[in-house]
Structure 1
Amino acid sequence: MKKFKEFDIPFAGLKQGEHRFGYRIDNLFFEGFDYTDFNDASLKVDVVLHKKSNMLELDFAVKGTVNVNCDLSNEPFDQKIKGSLDLIVKFGEEYNDENEEILILPHGEHQVNVAQYIYEMTVLSVPAKKVHPGIKDGSLDSEIVRKLTELQPGTEKEKDEETDPRWDTLKKLLTDK
């Protein structure tokens, strides 16, 4: 995690209470994780650290846009994202991050690196299906969209074609109930 040194939060010298940290994230951050699904990124991440006598509570929030390719047309567009993550940091005998909500640091640690949590929160904030807004409102004009519209089931070509009379008889059974 040497390359993400700016994401180290040194909590040892902080007083108990609330402390705020802010980060600007761009595509170089994701390239550090070998993640190439984003063409570009412009994100603001806020981290609120609640320091208590025996543990730390971290509240992450991300907001901004990532440039991704549409799953239907492969056209790039800016996808707005917003997400949050809560993490509890406790202290124990050895490092343990098996639980996604609780991180255990060894006694004597004086900082926590939050880069991995920012990465995971951001990637999981992107919708599973990325659809260009121009497809939803019909304003996107591209060759792929025209071809998809042409090949859509139920178009005029299929309505004009005659159907097999055997299928018509079977369809009649469904309506006779």
Structure 2
Amino acid sequence: MNATMKPLKEYNIQFVGLKLGKHHFDYQIDNKFFEHFEYDEFNDVNIKVDLGFEKKTTLLELHFQASGMVNVNCDTTNEPYNQKIKTDFDLVVKFGEEYNDENEDILIIPHGEYEVNVAQYIYELIVLSLPAKRIHPGIADGTLQSDILKKLEELSPKGLEEKEKTEEIDPRWNTLKKLLTDK
């Protein structure tokens, strides 16, 4: 996390005041959340995060479930589309001598801490749930009409072959080809 960024306070869970057992937190994630992380690859965001939070005597167990959509631009056509998101993540919070988040699913916080901030985990959960290549669903089913797609089709090996067939071959090439085959 950027050193100058203050943690988002509404994502602090003060577990000291919670009874042992299961608790539930809901978060509605939108563009403002990602602006805080200076992440601007989403045009629009509408994601609900359900956080199951279990307080045990020696540790905390967190189960994040995120579902909804982000509007992103297609890597091929740059056309915006809605990418569905459905993902989950488990985190165990333990207590130790010093803060340590090197292990991705275990967070160690110092003894005496009374709250945990879950914003960074929600951010990573959503960003990492996106496919590596963002492809508009209209490409696969043929419903997306785009100038870029038409150009890509023309430039594809199949498109170039068809172009060559339709263009009249200069007769001088035929003479050259004849020289090559008459060896």
How high is the TM-score relative to the length of structure 2? Answer: 0.85
Query: Is 1:135 the counterpart of 2:135 in the alignment?
Result: no
1:77 counterpart (64, 75, 81): 81
In 2: Cα distance, 1:159 partner to 1:21 partner: 63
Q: Which amino acid aligns with 2:32?
A: L
Counting only pairs closer than 5 Å after superposition, residues 44-123 of structure 1 correspond to structure 2 as 44-123=48-127
Look up the match of 1:9: 13
In 2: Cα distance, 1:103 partner to 1:6 partner: 19
* Shift of residue 159, structure 1, vs aligned partner: 5.2
Aligned to 1:82, the other structure's residue is in SS state strand
Structure 1's unaligned 5+ residue stretches are 170-177
Structure exhibiting the larger radius of gyration computed from Cα positions: 2
Aligned to 2:16, the other structure's residue is in SS state coil
Q: Which amino acid aligns with 1:134?
A: G
1:157 counterpart (143, 146, 163): 163
* Shift of residue 150, structure 1, vs aligned partner: 1.1
2:22/2:55 contact within 8 Å kept: yes
How high is the TM-score relative to the length of structure 1? Answer: 0.88
1:77-119 Cα distance to aligned partner (Å, 9 max, x none): 1110111111000001111111111101111111100000000
Moved over 4 A (4+): 158-162
Q: Which amino acid aligns with 1:65?
A: M
1:103-152 Cα distance to aligned partner (Å, 9 max, x none): 01111111100000000000001111111111111111111111111111
Query: Is 1:40 the counterpart of 2:32 in the alignment?
Result: no
In 1: Cα distance, 2:85 partner to 2:125 partner: 11
In 2: Cα distance, 1:37 partner to 1:148 partner: 24
Percent identical pairs in the alignment equals 62
Counting only pairs closer than 5 Å after superposition, residues 162-177 of structure 1 correspond to structure 2 as none
Structure 2's unaligned 5+ residue stretches are none
In 1: Cα distance, 2:76 partner to 2:19 partner: 51
In 1: Cα distance, 2:157 partner to 2:6 partner: 53
Aligned to 2:57, the other structure's residue is in SS state coil
